[in-house]
Structure 1
C-alpha cells in the first residue's frame, strides 16, 4: 500500500458503538493484508492504544483514508474525546498485565451478533456488567484464560488458521467466546450485592454515558466532563483492586448461575440517546 492511497473498496461498515481497534482487525481481514501493513498505511503503526487516540483530527484522518462517512465511529470518537477532556487515568482502559490494550466482552451480546465485533465501552474497566443481559463482563477466554486484545491479525491467528477468523472466537485457542457461562447480576434487585457494590455498577454505566453526553448530574447539580476525573474515584467508582475482591466473590456464588432465558433486561426510568440507555446521574453511597 502507498501512503498516498485511499481505501475505496473492501472496507467494512463500522457498527454504531464499535471500537476502532475492533474494526481495524476486521478491515485487515477484508483487505487481505497484515495488521502491520494496514497500520503502516494509516500512519498509526507506532500507536500503543488505537482507541485512546482515535478522536478529533486522528479520527477524521482515519475516515478520509478509509472512505468512511462523517458519522463513522461517532460514538467512539465522542467518548474518547470526553475521556481526554476529563483527563481520566490511562488505567481506566483495560489492558493486560503487560500493558497491551485489551477488551472485555459480553457472551450474550456476541451470541446475538451476526458479525462479531467489540464495543468501545467494553474497553473501560468501569463497564463491569452488561445492562442488556444483566451479567458481568468477561475479561479473558473461558477456556484458555487468554485476554481479548485487538487489533490483531485474525487470519494468521490459531483461530483464523482453523477457519474461525472472527471476534467471537479466542484467537489463541479458537474457543467460542459466546459459550462462556455468564455470571448474572442485576444491580437493582440482586441480594448478592451490597448497596455500595450496586452503586458502583450503576455508576460505571453512568460514567460512559457522561463521557458521551459531555455532562453528568450529581445530587441535582450539573457536573462537567472536566470535573469527572477529579471526583470519579473519590466519590463514585471503586479502584480496580477494590472491585476485584467483589468480582471474585460474585463469580464463586453458584446462585448467580442461570440459564439464558432467566436474564431480564434492566430498564431505567430516564433514557438517554446513547448506546447504553442510562441516565447520567451519579450516586454516592
Structure 2
C-alpha cells in the first residue's frame, strides 16, 4: 500500500529563481515550526547541503509532502544536477561559511521583493554582481558583519532569538540587511570596472547558463564548450574568478 503523507497548509510557492535553502527556510516559517522539524519531515538530513541535495535526491516525496508541483523544482534541479556531475562536493564553485551554505545578496532585490527571497545564483562564488540593478553583491550583514547562511530558523533568528519575519532581516542580529548603500558600479564617477572585471562578471553569468543549458561560450573565446569542460577549464585557470578585485565594501571605500 502506498504511504500517505499529511498535507501542509499555506505552503509558499517556490519562486522561479529561488534557491532550495531559501524556500525551505520560508516553508518552516509558514508552518510555525523549527528548521529541524521541517527537514525531518522532508527526510533531509541536517548535515546535508540543502541546495545540492536537490540535484541528487529524488524529489517526488518532497513534492508530495509539501504539495508543491514537481515541475516547480525543475530549474534548480537542473542546475545542481549539472554542478554535481562536475563538482560533487561543490567546493570549487559554491560559497561556504565553515560547513554552512553561504550566500551573497543584492540589497536592492531584497528591498523591492514583495516576498524577499534568496536567488539560486547568489550561492555561487562566480556571481558577483546583480544584473538587474548593476551593483556588487553584499558579502555580509552591514550591521553585525555576519555572513548570511541558509537554511536558517527564522522563528529563533535575530537578537535574543526573538525571531525574524522576512529573509530581508539578518538571522544573527535581526537588523535589515537591506540597510546598506548599494555598490552601484555603473554609476560611479570616481572608479569603474576594468575589462577583466567586466569579463569575469559576464563569464560568471555564462557559468550559471552553462549549468542550466549544458553548453556555454566564454567571452573572448570563439569555441563552444559543454558542461563537463567547466571543471577542467576552472583548474586550468581559464576563468580567473578569484582575480575579481572588488567587494561591495571596497567599492564604497569602507576598506582599503
Normalization by structure 2: what TM-score?
Answer: 0.86
Instruction: Quote the offset at 1:191 in angstroms.
Output: 5.7
Residue in 1 that maps onto 2:184:
184
Q: Distance in 2 between matches of 1:92 and 1:216?
A: 16
Give the paired residue count. Answer: 248
In 2, are the aligned partners of 1:211 and 1:225 still within 8 Å (CA)?
Answer: yes
Residue in 2 that maps onto 1:44:
44
Instruction: Quote the offset at 1:60 in angstroms.
Output: 3.2
- 2:248 is the alignment partner of 1:232: no
In 2, are the aligned partners of 1:29 and 1:154 still within 8 Å (CA)?
Answer: yes
Q: Deviations over 1:164-200 (max 9, x none)?
A: 321000011111111221111249x996222122211
Residue in 2 that maps onto 1:24:
24
Q: Distance in 2 between matches of 1:102 and 1:81?
A: 19
After superposition, the Cα gap between the structure-2 partners of 1:172 and 1:193, relative to the gap in structure 1 and judged at 3 Å, is: same
Consecutive unaligned residues of structure 1, counting only runs of 5 or more, are 256-285
Q: Distance in 1 between matches of 2:223 and 2:203?
A: 16
Structure 1 consecutive aligned stretches of length 4 or more whose deviation exceeds 6 Å: none
Q: Cα RMSD between the aligned structures?
A: 2.7
Q: Deviations over 1:237-274 (max 9, x none)?
A: 2354x33xx125x744559xxxxxxxxxxxxxxxxxxx
Secondary structure of the structure 2 residue equivalent to 1:247: coil
Normalization by structure 1: what TM-score?
Answer: 0.78
In 2, are the aligned partners of 1:127 and 1:205 still within 8 Å (CA)?
Answer: yes
Residue in 2 that maps onto 1:262:
none
Q: Spell out the pairing of 1:1-285 with structure 2 (5 A cutoff).
A: 5-55=5-55, 57-87=57-87, 89-96=90-97, 98-158=98-158, 162=162, 164-186=164-186, 192-218=192-218, 219-240=221-242, 242-243=243-244, 246-247=245-246, 251-253=249-251
Consecutive unaligned residues of structure 2, counting only runs of 5 or more, are none
Q: Distance in 2 between matches of 1:31 and 1:128?
A: 33
Q: Distance in 2 between matches of 1:133 and 1:46?
A: 34
After superposition, the Cα gap between the structure-2 partners of 1:176 and 1:87, relative to the gap in structure 1 and judged at 3 Å, is: same
